[in-house]
Structure 1
Amino acid sequence: MSHYETAAKDRISFSEKAAYGTGTLVLNLLPASLALFAFFLITAFGIDPVLAGLLVGLPRLFDALTDPIMGFITDNTKSRWGRRRPYIVVGAILSGSCFALLWQLDPENSQDYTFWYFLILSMAFTIGNTMFATPFVGLGYEMTSDYKERTRLMAASQFMGQIAWMIVPWFWVMIADPDLFENQAQGVRQLALYISGICIILGIVPGLFCKGIDNSNIENRAEISFRMIGSNLMGVFRSIIQTFKNAAFVRLCGATFLVFNGFQLVSSFAFFIIVFHMFDGDYGATGSWPAWFGTVSAFATAFMVIPVVSWMANKWGKRNAFIISTLISIVGYTLKWYGFNPENPWMIFMPIPLMSFGIGGLFTLMLSMTADVCDLDELKNGMPRKEGTFAAIYWLMVKLGQALAIILSGIVLKYVGFDAGNATQTVETMTNLRIADIIIPAGTAALAILVMWKYDISEERAHLIKEKLIERRGEI
């Protein structure tokens, strides 16, 4: 039971929460669209599947370099506009523009030309997206120092972020609709332009209207310059080492890796189960059921799960809320066995409200808890505060785990005997796939609960840390 009330000075206005939420929408819309469009590299633009895999995987390896560097840069930046906001604005413009250019492909171009064109622009997009995402997440960690208000902020932002997952599944339907586009290539090119414009406009909003820590009160920042590049790189490594010495943060990363990537590993299985188990390989009969499955999942997460999880966190603490929401998701995963029912397709929506507690609870709570961890780091290691570095390392774990999930999902499909070349699949194959679709996310969720069992930053401890920091350096 909570014993603390949020002070007026620690509250974030509705408009500022909404402004931060627009950034979260962009943070979800760009990678979700990129992942979906990657499918059309093969079907619309004729890229060999192996080369397409490289085009998806190589930028993620590049991320492993750019994320921690950007985290260090934004933590140590000195500017009249703060440590985060200039990068957010520039990053939104750069990443949105590169996304539009990335997909202006022509099926008539040679495969070599398309490969190098896409790879080079993917690297530019990655730089732009890192410039936007890392400072943006770090800004969210520092917008308030209050234990409860951090959860409210992340709940509001995640609510808006779910809008991306409501609309992205319908891009499949739109691109395939001959009444909208002449072919897949034209559909991808035009949709990319619309997505780019939306992301640029919405992405600059938090950079203009959200407030972080008073920039003038941050001490011990490194000088960021080419002259100091050697010292700066050493600073990056020291910051990374310090983050991994933080046991609470390591638990957050571990639990996120398990829950999110267990979910990601089987995310594509729902499509195959709907098509081949429920509709016996008939794509015409399948229609828009997979798109509705994704949209309803996002809708349930936004309007039901996130408000409930936020309430639980502020009532019983973030750790307890995570454990409860993750247990509920395990029940939801189990119910998928009964939900994917060929006799009654509407049953696919039955497990969604419970399943959605997994991802909906995860990011609402983990981002709020990482903000608490940043306070603990300042108490142990002093300034400068490292919200940017913690944001970079946390999301790097998510990205690398997501890449691993993509690889493992293919291995699981091959292991259960799934053959994409067959119009239908055997009963044994679909039974094994359905079992994997339940056991994998439920098992990783259970392991995540064990990882978080001894997480020890409670509301009381968070307030004690805050009081010690204020006593040491005053309000910031």
Structure 2
Amino acid sequence: MSHYETQLKDKVSFSQKTAYGTGTLVLNLLPAALGIFAFFLITGFGMDPLLAGILAGIPRLFDAITDPIMGFITDNTRSKWGRRRPYIVVGAILSGVFFALLWQMDPEASQAYNFWYFLAFSLAFTVGNTMFATPFVGLGYEITSDYNERTRLMAFSQFMGQIAWMVVPWFWVLIANPDLFTTQAEGVRELSLYVAAVCIVLGIIPGLFCKGIDSGNIENTQEISFRTLAQNLMSVIDGIKQAFNNVEFVKLCGATFLIFNGFQLVASFAYFIIVFHMFNGDYGLTGSWPAWFSTVSAIVTAFLVIPIVSWMANKWGKRNAFILSTGISIIGYCLKWYGFNPENPWMLFMPIPLMAFGIGGLFTLMLSMTADVCDQDELRNGMPRKEGTFGAIYWLMVKLGQALALVLGGVVLKVVGFDPGLDTQAVETITYLRIADIAIPAITAALAIWIMWTYDLDEERARDIKKQLIETRGEI
């Protein structure tokens, strides 16, 4: 149990946590909806699968450029509204508008026209989303400087973020329902408007109501202008180098990349296993079981796993809580062998409470630990504080892991001999697919535990760093 009591000035009020949580909900809702809508890019709008893959990959490469740049910009901004909040408000509006426009394609238009239309608005959406997400993540790191309160803030925000994963799986059911929409394209176009509106309304809330560090307390910020463009770009590169010279931060990125990549790589396998193993290829019998599987996972993560992980972090420290929660998830992955049971579909939900510790524990703890790393970086490299830069690089690792998982997922399906055009799959194919569905996330989780085993930025060290910072530059 922690020997320290959080001071009143470091506690985050319920209203502040709620305001920040609305942004986390948007941060989850946009990629979740984007992932489902991308499927209908092929089936609803008739895009060639190869072109669809290109359209999914190019924005990720663009992210690799825009995220660190936005991190530098928000770290060095000085305004009466703070370093993060103006970008969050503008970014939320742009993200919503461009997300809606992105899906207003005409299925009757030529494939070439839709390709360039989608690519142009994908890049515009990426810019808007980067403008929202990067300063929003940085804001979360600086709302409180207390070691344990950071975990409680991230736990609450991740709880709200899970609402997106409770709702979005049902988009599959809605879009494919002919009683609601005449075509899949119509369903995507209309639902995208609702998603965009929700993201705009909720996305601006943290920008309006959350309090971060006053930019007037941040020293050594650089001028950002066309005149200083070359110098700014060199500073971006220097900031990236400093981040990757931080051993603790590299461990956080490595562990996150492994766990999230392993999880995402097999994410679609559950759907195929439910359809072809549990219901023998009968989509009618399959019904809404896959949607319920995803929704129940999100509910368990929000109401059970995240509170437990937060409690474990306060009792045993963040590193130990991560190792324990990740170990529990490995047991859950192994139980999937018994859970996907054709004789009793309700067994499907049996592994979920243990599996959910993987992703539920990951982001609750890693985001809190990244905030601790930002303190360490300030002690080593001085101001300006680089929450934006660290947040951008951390989430870039998540995005790269997701992109790699999309590619490797297809490779695994090819290797095991899966053919989505067949009504039934060979027994050997389903067996190999089930083995991969268990082994891949279990192995990546075990490797993540190995990486984090020597992570040593514990509470004692974090509080000592905070004490030294206050002695050097006072409270900010």
Same fold (TM over 0.5): yes
Amino acid at match of 2:117: Y
Equivalent residue for 1:20? 20
Amino acid at match of 2:467: E
Equivalent residue for 1:168? 168
Q: CA deviation at 1:401?
A: 1.1
Q: For each residue in 1:303-330, what CA deviation from the matched residue of structure 2 results, as whole angstroms up to 9, or x when unmatched?
A: 0000000000011100000000000000
Distance 2:13 2:401 in 1: 34
Q: CA deviation at 1:462?
A: 0.6
Distance 1:177 1:403 in 2: 29
User: What SS does the aligned partner of 1:227 have?
Assistant: coil
Equivalent residue for 1:204? 204
Q: How does 1:320-331 map to 2 (within 5 A)?
A: 320-331=320-331
Distance 1:269 1:176 in 2: 20
Equivalent residue for 1:240? 240
Contact 2:83 2:214 in 1 (8 A): no
Equivalent residue for 1:144? 144
Distance 1:256 1:185 in 2: 35
Q: CA deviation at 1:181?
A: 1.0
Equivalent residue for 1:38? 38
Q: CA deviation at 1:178?
A: 1.3
In the comparison of the two structures, how many residue pairs are matched? 476
Equivalent residue for 1:65? 65
User: What SS does the aligned partner of 1:475 have?
Assistant: coil
User: What SS does the aligned partner of 1:264 have?
Assistant: helix
Relative to the length of structure 2, the TM-score reads: 1.00
Equivalent residue for 2:215? 215
Distance 2:298 2:410 in 1: 25
Equivalent residue for 1:128? 128
Equivalent residue for 1:382? 382
Amino acid at match of 1:241: K
Contact 2:2 2:314 in 1 (8 A): yes
Q: CA deviation at 1:360?
A: 0.1
Q: CA deviation at 1:214?
A: 1.7
User: What SS does the aligned partner of 2:455 have?
Assistant: coil
Equivalent residue for 1:353? 353
Pair 1:91 & 2:91 matched: yes
Equivalent residue for 2:302? 302
Structure 1 runs (4+) deviating above 4 angstroms are none
Equivalent residue for 1:472? 472
Q: CA deviation at 1:18?
A: 0.3
Contact 2:305 2:361 in 1 (8 A): yes
Q: CA deviation at 1:420?
A: 1.0
Two-structure CA RMSD over aligned residues (Å)? 0.4
Q: For each residue in 1:414-472, what CA deviation from the matched residue of structure 2 results, as whole angstroms up to 9, or x when unmatched?
A: 11110111111011000000000000000000000000001011111110000000000
Amino acid at match of 1:332: G
Q: CA deviation at 1:26?
A: 0.2
Q: CA deviation at 1:32?
A: 0.7
Equivalent residue for 2:372? 372
Q: For each residue in 1:202-233, what CA deviation from the matched residue of structure 2 results, as whole angstroms up to 9, or x when unmatched?
A: 00000000000121110000101111000000
User: What SS does the aligned partner of 1:463 have?
Assistant: helix
Q: CA deviation at 1:473?
A: 0.3
Contact 2:21 2:160 in 1 (8 A): yes
Q: Which runs of 5+ in 2 are unaligned?
A: none
Distance 2:80 2:214 in 1: 10
Equivalent residue for 1:250? 250
Equivalent residue for 2:313? 313
Equivalent residue for 1:263? 263
Equivalent residue for 1:231? 231
Q: How does 1:355-434 map to 2 (within 5 A)?
A: 355-434=355-434
Amino acid at match of 1:36: I
User: What SS does the aligned partner of 1:134 have?
Assistant: helix
Distance 1:451 1:270 in 2: 27
Distance 1:404 1:319 in 2: 26
User: What SS does the aligned partner of 2:358 have?
Assistant: helix
Q: CA deviation at 1:167?
A: 0.5
Amino acid at match of 2:115: F
Distance 1:260 1:65 in 2: 21
